[in-house]
Amino acid sequence: MNKITYLDGARWHRALVAGASNVLSRQEYLNKINVFPVPDGDTGTNMAFTLTSILDSTVQRIHPRTDDMLALIADAALDGARGNSGVILAQFFQGLSDGAAGVDKMTPESFARAVKFGAEY
């Protein structure tokens, strides 16, 4: 079995598609368990809308570099953010993008740094 040792723009896009697919398939469940940031039962819907917007904006624009792909994802997330959970997701992607500035192929170490930026954004 081959180990993935880096993430580039194409791999980031594939990961985004896989993650979005999981959110979309569990949208109603996420709505049902929604208590944060506001217990209004629409977190799954808002995250699904935001992720679909990101996918629509990136499907024909896959960049080979990690930093360029994450910048595109972050911009698309901000443009398509819906509701509180969509805005929080967009903020995470912006922090992730900021943490990946100058990174062509992301290593486990640069991934950890970028996720930390995303969590703190």
Could you report the per-residue pLDDT of 83-104, keeping only the tens digit for each?
999 999 999 999 999 999 999 9
**Strand, coil or helix: what is 14?**
helix
Residue ranges per structural domain of the chain: 9-120
Q: Residues with Cβ < 8 Å from 108, sequence gap 6 or more?
A: none
48: Cβ contacts below 8 Å, ≥ 6 apart: 20, 23, 24, 27
Residues 29-70: tens digit of each pLDDT: 999 998 876 788 999 999 999 999 999 999 999 999 999 999
Backbone angles phi, psi at 35, to 5 degrees: -130, -10
**Helices marked H in the chain — which ranges?**
9-25, 27-33, 43-58, 66-80, 83-99, 108-120
What pLDDT does 10 receive?
Answer: 97
- pTM, rounded to two decimals: 0.93
34 or 9, which is more confident: 9
Q: Is the pLDDT of residue 120 over 90?
A: yes
User: Does 16 have pLDDT greater than 80?
Assistant: yes
| Mean pLDDT, residues 11-26 taken together | 97
Stated length of the chain:
121
SS3 106: strand
